[in-house]
Amino acid sequence: MNVNQSAPPVPPYGQPQPVYPGYHQSSYGGQPGSTAPPNTYGVYNGPVPGYQQTPPPGVSRAPPSSGVPPASTAQVPCGQGAYGQFGQGDVQNGPSSTVQMQRLPGSQPFGSAPLAPVVSQPAVLQPYGPPPTSAQVTAQLAGMQISGSVTPAPPPSGLGYGPPTSLAPASGSFPNAGLYGSCPQGQAPPLSQAQGHSGAQPPQRSAPQQASSFTPQASGGPRMPSMTGPLLPGQSFGGPPVNQPNHVSSPPPPQAPHPGTQMAGPPGPPPSMHSSQQQGYQLQQNGSFGPARGPQPNYGSPYPGAPAFGSQPGPPQSLPPKRLDPDAIPSPQLNELPPQQKTRHRIDPDAIPSPIQVIEDDRNNRGSEPFVTGVRGQVPPLVTTNFLVKDQGNASPRYIRCTSYNIPCTSDMAKQAQVPLAAVIKPLARLPPEEASPYLVDHGESGPLRCNRCKAYMCPFMQFVEGGRRFQCCFCSCINDVPPQYFQHLDHTGKRVDAYDRPELSLGSYEFLATVDYCKNNKFPSPPAFIFMIDVSYNAIRSGLVRLLCEELKSLLDFLPREGGAEESAIRVGFVTYNKVLHFYNVKSSLAQPQMMVVSDVADMFVPLLDGFLVNVNESRAVIISLLDQIPEMFADTRETETVFAPVIQAGMEALKAAECAGKLFIFHTSLPIAEAPGKLKNRDDRKLINTDKEKTLFQPQTGAYQALAKECVAQGCCVDLFLFPNQYVDVATLSVVPQLTGGSVYKYTCFQVENDQERFMSDLRRDVEKVVGFDAVMRVRTSTGIRAVDFFGAFYMSNTTDVELAGLDGEKTVTVEFKHDDRLNEESGAILQCALLYTSCAGQRRLRIHNLALNCCTQLADLYRNCETDTLINYMAKFAYRGVLNSPVKTVRDTLITQCAQILACYRKNCASPSSAGQLILPECMKLLPVYLNCVLKSDVLQPGAEVTTDDRAYVRQLVTSMDVAETNVFFYPRLLPLTKSPIESTTEPPAIRASEERLSNGDIYLLENGLNLFIWVGAGVQQGVVQSLFSVSSFSQITSGLSILPVLDNPLSKKVRGLIDSLRAQRSRYMKLIVVKQEDKLEMLFKHFLVEDKSLSGGASYVDFLCHMHKEIRQLLS
């Protein structure tokens, strides 16, 4: 495949440089790089001194993003202006406009008129890539009221979906509920509705049945928790239900629809009369949600009543196939659906788009072939699909994922669609062993070749001209001379003959060895150092933490990251302990015993020793071991309960500064730092602020001291990883500021107890110490003319509008970048992104890692909607929202998300979908999971906390999500639920997941649920005794210990299989997931139900079905 195929057409080269006909010179000014001196080679992102420039404190992000964003016509008034101000506690650098919401102009009468004509979507625009996927999920949803305030029919009994009050424990009765922390002891809210699963167990539905749209509803049993039970007045589940589920998504050949043969059941007359259809929806339009409606006039047959449910033909083949291109299909077909499906009173959860099915389909369709990156604008397989990547000129999706791989050509189009244009970038992503790490290219003293004007690095999209003597920049169109040593002849296609010998000419990702010009102070860096800083106050000693940690460190020090085949790590280590004062240790190899030096002047922190503080582990091993043996003893009798925190960071940073190296601080901390010192904090937790305008203060740091400190750390390349062991409120929002701004990580072990939490802490620590980190990094994202990076999300610091500064960056962290138009894009040339990360490797080598990605551009909205990636969209939207809560009331943030989602879908409906009844909810194929996933974000703990969620938990999750990759947000918001006892015990494959809803649970089975942070095993009350025995080594259900966190090691196939599965799930995630065993109807079950995200949540979050209806209503409002 020709990696250059997307490069701009070769211009007439004989021309003098400055003026290039056909290229938009005028837009150079908008290029990010244009501010850099146009003449210097080898200077990264402009002058090196920029590195140490220290902007005024509290500097807010300047123009491009702080002005009125071009994309919005109306801004939700929510605290804009506070963005980007570090003084405000914003760790981000976003635009002042937090929210850009735009109601579609109401000029398109919709409602009662037939839909607007379909925009033609010439399929030829996409002659490559995966088949277009725009099957429309149509769902006819009747008017169901849904909102946080409306409580849909409470189930009559037992399913645990009662109104919050029926279950909600008084706040505090569920302390440290273990969702993020680990104190399952003593929580125990009474579960008031107990009979749930026992007697009338709903018929279990297994995954395969999802393929049928309307599974016979045996007896109307309580199988739909949120929908069952008597309908409340004013609440109707009636009306035409969802009628074209997503399960028609097995991969039929593109353009295949032949509706005549695919209709299930009686081929009801296709209702082509829109007017008649509307009758069924008038109620909705009026906002009246009366009792279940009768026959839908246009459905051809009277409402048959419940019996019809039982006679639903549901086999998948009876349904219309996936419609890969709805717009290639004459419009009436949409309505040629099995009429009986339109006449149900309830929305069958099986009939609405299923995440499980979508994931399954993608695995089946795309898991077998490697994803080859040579084609521009190709949407990669989902993050949940296992696939290999072959780099043929574009960066692997492991490094960059985009919300859309086809960008609207104009900002008007982008505004209309409201689809955020963003890339989630994980520059140092770890690759599976089958995939090669990026090649390291060494250009010697001359350094990497760059564009003189915009400073972009040589990449496969650069166009060589004039026989190879010059190249034209694919980002800014500047013509550059090729240095003599880099010259090479071109072949007849204009390609350099050595293209495939040079990674930078043929691959999407590669590294350059940096020259001294790219180094701070024009000096090559020293290897980094790790400093372990251990809280030795009373709580830390008493919990056993200090002893455990010191013991573990002895062996961990042999696993410091090393480069390539190096025998030992180049990283030096140092040790500090502290409570109200700091103790430094001299562990020089020549000493017989370590020496302690106490610094009690915490207000003016200095490092009392240079020589002997940072040492090589192997050289000083004996002294270090001796120290680690002594620390627990030295402080065994401490009565000191108070701690400091900011001085600890300061000390570590000063030590690195004195050693002239970058590095990482590992801080193990237990309590709110109330001792008199800089950064002293007070307990300001106040749950009464929830749902008030002041709620945002709970997420903001309570002092600006930590931002200032973070800035110093970043300048020094000092990354801070924080391990918290709180017994009560520690103000995570404030303590995590420095880790967040330095690219570090925060771990939290609430109510730490050695016996319960040892495994998790040790595992996390081991992984954290061992992981490869790039230090003292700067990242810049360059774009081709027409779009530019305007906003950034993640754990980093920015002192200007373009350079993302990362004191440290590991292989798990992402930086999310949002793009906006600043000019018109060109379909032919597409759009190109180049992410350049300058960093110091663990061995102290200065390098540049380059990732390139070319995207398509479109003039038809349908092409945008065909090439979106919902998982990435959700990742972006969650980060956007989670940053929004720093400055806006949480409700505003939620409303903004809902509106944006509705706008995205309404725009599709209006411009891309075939005309159909307004009563149909039509979702673009690529986005059919947008509502369900968005609902999960909306009801997440940050945006809609339950009573058991603490302020610290929320702050903790908020900062975690900020740098999550797409796979992590995917499972975090929509947990994976696996039946453990359904598949044959011999089967070696992972059991197929089921949807995260209580109705999918059978009381005769055992399930595992994980979301990347938490891991549950749920045991049904009716599980066979033999199974209980095999797994838990007790004779009956009642003897299983609720809250158990370790499964007994038993020598039988089931036990081995389940423990093996847990191990493999843990290995897949970046953090150790502690297991909690939950028994059906046990008090702990509430914890577990929190993660059944398709159900209505106790904190008031809508069920999936309800939310879909709500979304439909919003869309209709936008279109009417």
Kindly state whether residue 720 participates in binding Zn ion, applying the rule CB under 5 A.
Answer: no
Kindly state whether residue 1062 participates in binding Zn ion, applying the rule CB under 5 A.
Answer: no
Tell which one of 227, 395, 476, 765 touches Zn ion (CB under 5 A).
Answer: 476
Strands 976-979 and 815-821: unpaired
**Site map (CB under 5 A) of Zn ion, residues 15-34, x = contact:** --------------------
Q: Which residue has the tokens 């033909």?
A: 313
User: Do 88 and 700 form a contact (C-beta atoms < 8 A)?
Assistant: yes
Q: How far apart are CA 1120 and CA 1117, in angstroms?
A: 5
- Minimum Å gap between C-beta 464 and Zn ion is 14
Q: How far apart are CA 53 and CA 56, in angstroms?
A: 9
Kindly state whether residue 451 participates in binding Zn ion, applying the rule CB under 5 A.
Answer: yes
Kindly state whether residue 831 participates in binding Zn ion, applying the rule CB under 5 A.
Answer: no
Q: Encoding tokens for residue 611?
A: 């020589």
User: Do 970 and 1068 form a contact (C-beta atoms < 8 A)?
Assistant: no
Q: Of 284-292, 456-464, 561-569, 995-1003, which part binds Zn ion (CB under 5 A)?
A: 456-464
Give whichever of 451 and 789 is closer to Zn ion, judged by the CB atom. Answer: 451
At 401, is the secondary structure helix, strand, or coil? strand
Q: Encoding tokens for residue 362?
A: 């993608």
Q: How far apart are CA 443 and CA 450, in angstroms?
A: 12
Kindly state whether residue 519 participates in binding Zn ion, applying the rule CB under 5 A.
Answer: no
Q: Of 448-456, 752-760, 849-857, 870-878, which part binds Zn ion (CB under 5 A)?
A: 448-456
Give whichever of 459 and 804 is closer to Zn ion, judged by the CB atom. Answer: 459
- Minimum Å gap between C-beta 835 and Zn ion is 15
Tell which one of 283, 473, 881, 934 touches Zn ion (CB under 5 A).
Answer: 473
Give whichever of 466 and 770 is closer to Zn ion, judged by the CB atom. Answer: 466
User: Do 327 and 118 form a contact (C-beta atoms < 8 A)?
Assistant: yes
Kindly state whether residue 471 participates in binding Zn ion, applying the rule CB under 5 A.
Answer: no
Give whichever of 2 and 34 is closer to Zn ion, judged by the CB atom. Answer: 34
User: Do 333 and 267 form a contact (C-beta atoms < 8 A)?
Assistant: no
Q: Encoding tokens for residue 472?
A: 């034209």
**Site map (CB under 5 A) of Zn ion, residues 900-939, x = contact:** ----------------------------------------
Q: How far apart are CA 469 and CA 466, in angstroms?
A: 6
Kindly state whether residue 457 participates in binding Zn ion, applying the rule CB under 5 A.
Answer: no
Give whichever of 473 and 936 is closer to Zn ion, judged by the CB atom. Answer: 473
Strand partners, 531: 574, 665
CA dihedral sign, ordered 455, 459, 465, 467: positive
Tell which one of 387, 475, 796, 908 touches Zn ion (CB under 5 A).
Answer: 475
Q: How far apart are CA 395 and CA 404, in angstroms?
A: 15
Q: Of 438-446, 455-463, 788-796, 897-905, which part binds Zn ion (CB under 5 A)?
A: 455-463
- Minimum Å gap between C-beta 456 and Zn ion is 5
Give whichever of 473 and 1102 is closer to Zn ion, judged by the CB atom. Answer: 473
Kindly state whether residue 454 participates in binding Zn ion, applying the rule CB under 5 A.
Answer: yes
Q: Minimal CA–CA distance to 799: which of 886, 714, 720, 887?
A: 714
Give whichever of 451 and 893 is closer to Zn ion, judged by the CB atom. Answer: 451
At residue 816, φ and ψ (nearest 5 deg) are -100, 130
Give whichever of 478 and 737 is closer to Zn ion, judged by the CB atom. Answer: 478
User: Do 534 and 652 form a contact (C-beta atoms < 8 A)?
Assistant: no
Q: Of 472-480, 662-670, 690-698, 1072-1080, which part binds Zn ion (CB under 5 A)?
A: 472-480
Give whichever of 23 and 819 is closer to Zn ion, judged by the CB atom. Answer: 23
- Total number of residues binding Zn ion (CB under 5 A)? 8
Q: Of 171-179, 285-293, 445-453, 952-960, which part binds Zn ion (CB under 5 A)?
A: 445-453
Q: How far apart are CA 911 and CA 906, in angstroms?
A: 8
- CA distances to 112, 166, 755, 1094 from 178, in Å: 51, 21, 15, 21
Q: Of 113-121, 403-411, 450-458, 656-664, which part binds Zn ion (CB under 5 A)?
A: 450-458
Q: Of 336-344, 474-482, 598-606, 667-675, which part binds Zn ion (CB under 5 A)?
A: 474-482
- Minimum Å gap between C-beta 476 and Zn ion is 3
Q: For 71, left (φ over 0), alpha (ψ -120 to 50), or beta?
A: alpha
Q: How far apart are CA 335 and CA 1059, in angstroms?
A: 49
**Site map (CB under 5 A) of Zn ion, residues 394-433, x = contact:** ----------------------------------------
Q: How far apart are CA 222 and CA 998, in angstroms?
A: 11
Give whichever of 29 and 56 is closer to Zn ion, judged by the CB atom. Answer: 29
- Minimum Å gap between C-beta 705 and Zn ion is 41
Tell which one of 283, 478, 582, 710 touches Zn ion (CB under 5 A).
Answer: 478
| Length of the chain (residues) | 1120
Kindly state whether residue 334 participates in binding Zn ion, applying the rule CB under 5 A.
Answer: no
- Minimum Å gap between C-beta 783 and Zn ion is 11
Binders of Zn ion among 244-263, rule CB under 5 A?
Answer: none
User: Do 832 and 852 form a contact (C-beta atoms < 8 A)?
Assistant: yes
Tell which one of 453, 547, 879, 976 touches Zn ion (CB under 5 A).
Answer: 453
Q: How far apart are CA 81 and CA 85, in angstroms?
A: 8
Buried b (16+ CB within 10 A) or exposed e, 228-237: bbebeeebbb
Q: How far apart are CA 308 and CA 605, in angstroms?
A: 77
Q: Of 142-150, 383-391, 444-452, 560-568, which part binds Zn ion (CB under 5 A)?
A: 444-452
Q: Minimal CA–CA distance to 860: which of 827, 899, 818?
A: 827
Give whichever of 624 and 850 is closer to Zn ion, judged by the CB atom. Answer: 850
Q: Give the footprint of Zn ion on this chain (CB under 5 A).
A: 451, 453-454, 456, 473, 475-476, 478
